[in-house]
A and B are shown apart, each in its own frame.
Chain A
């Protein structure tokens, strides 16, 4: 019944094509790197690196080498480093083919909310607003419903937006949906999930 975190990440990895430069967000999106297989994918870390490698072995951590989540990482033979203005130049300039990000809410018009809940502690948007405004394709990976069982795929976002009309594809534990004119279109359902179940769990308009 439905996909787990790793299956969602595996499905998201299918979105990536050979030769792509990609930015992965924190959480389930980070797991996508485990499923790229033989595809030649270059991961961007927006603090100033292309060609992000895996975590270091114990004892080999370098305080000068971290990812955007402030975790220690390693470099690869292809790695390049650059400053933050250059990093967001390539993001804003559309050079990054895709970003895979988590979300609190997505709306049927592609609006995305993933940075702030009014009344709760606000930590900041970091690079999320730049990423969703700039990269070629925005793919959201998230649970279909919140912990109260309510749809996170909505007609309209209720939370403050990270970007307006920016999401291209939504991958959830229940299936895959594309943002199209007039609403969402079902691309596929997760293993063991029927189309009726996916529709029932979705507040947003589903076309066709």
Chain B
């Protein structure tokens, strides 16, 4: 059982095909699988459907796969800050399915947990509920949402051991665990691969059972909105 691969290209080899569904972790540009996105860009796989909370920014993150016209459809909750996205969407080149953020996260968690659908109050009485099964429980109305099972998941973690046990860092965890769970195959890119046994088993965020391939590499970790406060005078 060898999970560690030399590069993004090596880890992606044999897994990509046109028209596939990919689930990607990350929130904005925080905790996105930069290296695997670059690998998919180099592979040139086309007609992708990508389930990801956002779609990067112009020229970075998933925005690169928009520039290269590799994405056919996005399943996202928020797609601002991306002019090329809007251009392709408004011209009809790109399909878009809006999911409320919590619904998208739960669709991934459920899909990875053997739950094909779940009921939620989110979106009842809005356009999101149109065409979906409604059901009342204890006097409240809920809608049925489907679990997502992706052909491939690409996620970013802070550290992994060689069995794929993952630790995330701060808010870079976000969609990465549910995205990892919902993939038939999951590749994790990390900042550091540490020896087996060096992570306290009680502190593992995502067990290696969800992770099939691992790569290590340098991350740019671009900041989308740099906000600071002034230091008070001592």
Q: Does A5 contact B (CB under 8 A)?
A: no
Give the interface segment out of A124-132, A139-147, A168-176, A199-207: A124-132
Residues from chain B with Cβ under 8 Å of A129 in the complex: 100, 102-103, 122-123, 126, 128
Residues from chain A with Cβ under 8 Å of B109 in the complex: 85
Give the interface segment out of B2-10, B194-202, B221-229: B221-229
Q: Does B86 contact A (CB under 8 A)?
A: yes
**Within the complex, what minimum Cβ distance (angstroms) separates A25 from chain B?**
13
Q: B98: nearest residue on chain A (CB-CB)?
A: A124
**Bound Cα distance from A88 to B53, whole angstroms:** 13
How big is the A interface, by class?
A: 35 or more
- Is the pair A57, B108 in contact by a Cβ cutoff of 8 Å? no
**Within the complex, what minimum Cβ distance (angstroms) separates A103 from chain B?**
14
- Is the pair A61, B223 in contact by a Cβ cutoff of 8 Å? yes
- How many interface residues does B have (CB within 8 Å)? 55
Q: Does A164 contact B (CB under 8 A)?
A: yes
**Bound Cα distance from A72 to B178, whole angstroms:** 23
Q: B206: nearest residue on chain A (CB-CB)?
A: A83
- Is the pair A47, B27 in contact by a Cβ cutoff of 8 Å? yes
Residues from chain B with Cβ under 8 Å of A58 in the complex: 228, 230-231
Q: Does A56 contact B (CB under 8 A)?
A: yes
Main secondary structure of the interface of A (DSSP, over half): loop
**Bound Cα distance from A160 to B230, whole angstroms:** 40
* A75, A88, A129 — most chain B CB neighbours (10 Å): A129
Q: Which residue in B27, B108, B168, B228 is a CB contact (below 8 Å) of A72?
A: B228
Q: Does B105 contact A (CB under 8 A)?
A: yes
**Within the complex, what minimum Cβ distance (angstroms) separates B222 from chain A?**
7
**Within the complex, what minimum Cβ distance (angstroms) separates A27 from chain B?**
14
The 0/1 profile, CB within 8 Å of B marked 1, for residues 44-80 of chain A is 0111110000111110111111110111110100000
- Is the pair B170, A134 in contact by a Cβ cutoff of 8 Å? no
- Is the pair B123, A64 in contact by a Cβ cutoff of 8 Å? no
Q: Does A42 contact B (CB under 8 A)?
A: no
Given A71-B225, A130-B100, CB of A123 within 8 Å of CB of B80: yes
Given A57-B231, A70-B30, A134-B122, CB of A85 within 8 Å of CB of B178: yes
Q: Which residue in A63, A92, A130, A134 is a CB contact (below 8 Å) of B222?
A: A63
**Within the complex, what minimum Cβ distance (angstroms) separates B144 from chain A?**
15
- Is the pair A133, B170 in contact by a Cβ cutoff of 8 Å? no
**Bound Cα distance from A133 to B128, whole angstroms:** 13
Interface residues of B in 208-234 (CB under 8 A from A): 221-231
Given A123-B78, A125-B78, A127-B77, CB of A85 within 8 Å of CB of B108: yes
Given A56-B229, A83-B178, A133-B121, CB of A64 within 8 Å of CB of B169: yes
Q: Does B31 contact A (CB under 8 A)?
A: yes
- Is the pair A85, B228 in contact by a Cβ cutoff of 8 Å? no
- Is the pair B77, A85 in contact by a Cβ cutoff of 8 Å? no
**Bound Cα distance from A62 to B228, whole angstroms:** 11
Interface residues of A in 71-115 (CB under 8 A from B): 71-73, 75, 81-85, 87-89, 91-92, 111
| 21 pairs of residues in contact across A and B, judged by CB atoms under 8 Å | A46-B102, A47-B28, A48-B173, A49-B170, A49-B171, A55-B227, A61-B223, A64-B169, A65-B171, A66-B224, A70-B224, A72-B228, A81-B171, A83-B176, A84-B174, A85-B177, A88-B103, A123-B78, A123-B79, A125-B77, A160-B127
